[in-house]
């Protein structure tokens, strides 16, 4: 699933192609991906709207349109949002095509059909539960060490569960949770409440450093993820834990192991991460 660095990369790569473009029409091949409003109203409302700006909140991509409307997109597991030449053949997994005034098309493809699309008044996220309840952005000033110190107090949940909880911190998924915990030297099954002040500080800086590195390398491409122009990211070449089970730890040489934590495959060093 695309996480914060991937969605941020999609946003940045789409911006030069979409800003000030008008949506002149659309084709809907699978309407089930549109959750709000109903299809006839969706089609009517989005017609001739200008794309004013792009934003991101957690794993949600926000296309801010004229007349105070926002197209909210969640890529989920296998979604792709790419700008394409109309002459390009339509992939069989393409569900939405937005035709743009400059002659290009914005296509939403999704092999597993888990993606979500909403058209709502800008800032009115109440009906989008996952967006409405998001915690702070971990790369913004609102995410402070003091905030994290407060959030970990008296929490009995496991560290991996805590990092994946979007209500606590927005945008972290399975890949970056493994990377963060490896960087911080913390075991994914540690109870959050057992962290010392020094360990909380290590966790804080690991969150920021690994997510920032993910953004700088334009995301992690293993299977489905590409940016808004169809280009792959490069962070898969920088991974220290995720997907490396059986390989030696880069710090101590111990073989990295895999277990299931928070219902997700989790890779860690049984020696370095305590």
Does 244 belong to an annotated binding site? no
121 has catalytic annotation: no
Of 59, 80, 107, 244, the active-site residue reads 59
Residues 6+ apart with CB under 8 A from 194: none
2 has catalytic annotation: yes
> What is the maximum span of the chain, computed from C-alpha positions, in angstroms?
59
Considering only CA atoms, which of 14, 22, 176 is closest in space to residue 108? 14
Of 52, 208, 264, 270, the active-site residue reads 264
Does 112 belong to an annotated binding site? yes
CB of 160 closer than 8 Å to CB of 192: no
Q: Where are the beta strands (DSSP E) in the chain?
A: 23-28, 34-36, 51-57, 60-65, 69-74, 79-84, 94-100, 105-110, 116-121, 257-261, 264-268
- Fill in the DSSP letter of residue 205: H
Considering only CA atoms, which of 230, 241, 231 is closest in space to residue 267? 241
> What's phi and psi for 51, nearest 5 deg?
-85, 110
138 has catalytic annotation: no
Does 258 belong to an annotated binding site? no
Q: Check residue 179 and give left, alpha or beta (phi > 0: left; psi -120 to 50: alpha).
A: alpha
3 has catalytic annotation: yes
Q: Which positions are catalytic?
A: 2-3, 59, 264
Q: Which residues does the annotation place in the binding site?
A: 93, 112, 155
Q: Which residues does the annotation place in the binding site for DNA?
A: 93, 112, 155
């Amino acid at each position: 699933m695309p996480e914060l660095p991937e969605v941020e990369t999609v946003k940045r790569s789409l911006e030069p192609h979409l800003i000030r473009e008008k949506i002149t029409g659309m084709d809907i091949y699978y309407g089930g991906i549109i959750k709000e409003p109903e299809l006839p109203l969706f089609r009517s409302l989005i017609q001739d709207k200008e794309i004013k700006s792009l934003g991101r909140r957690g794993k949600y991509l926000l296309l801010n349109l004229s007349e105070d409307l926002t197209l909210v997109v969640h890529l989920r597991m296998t979604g792709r949002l790419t700008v394409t030449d109309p002459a390009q053949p339509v992939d069989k997994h393409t569900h939405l095509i937005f035709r743009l005034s400059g002659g290009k098309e914005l296509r939403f493809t999704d092999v597993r059909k888990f993606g979500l699309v909403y058209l709502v008044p800008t800032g009115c996220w109440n009906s989008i539960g996952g967006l409405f309840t998001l915690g702070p952005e971990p790369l913004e000033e609102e995410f402070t060490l003091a905030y994290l110190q407060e959030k970990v107090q008296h929490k009995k949940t496991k560290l991996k569960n805590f990092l994946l909880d979007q209500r606590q911190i927005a945008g972290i998924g399975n890949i970056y949770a493994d990377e963060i915990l490896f960087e911080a030297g913390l075991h994914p099954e540690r109870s959050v409440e057992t962290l010392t002040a020094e360990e909380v500080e290590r966790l804080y800086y690991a969150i920021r450093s690994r997510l920032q590195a993910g953004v700088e390398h334009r995301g992690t491409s293993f299977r489905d993820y590409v940016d808004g122009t169809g280009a792959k990211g490069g962070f898969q070449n920088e991974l220290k834990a995720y997907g490396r089970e059986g390989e030696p730890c880069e710090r101590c040489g111990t073989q990295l192991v895999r277990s299931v934590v928070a219902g997700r495959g989790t890779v860690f060093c049984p020696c370095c991460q305590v």
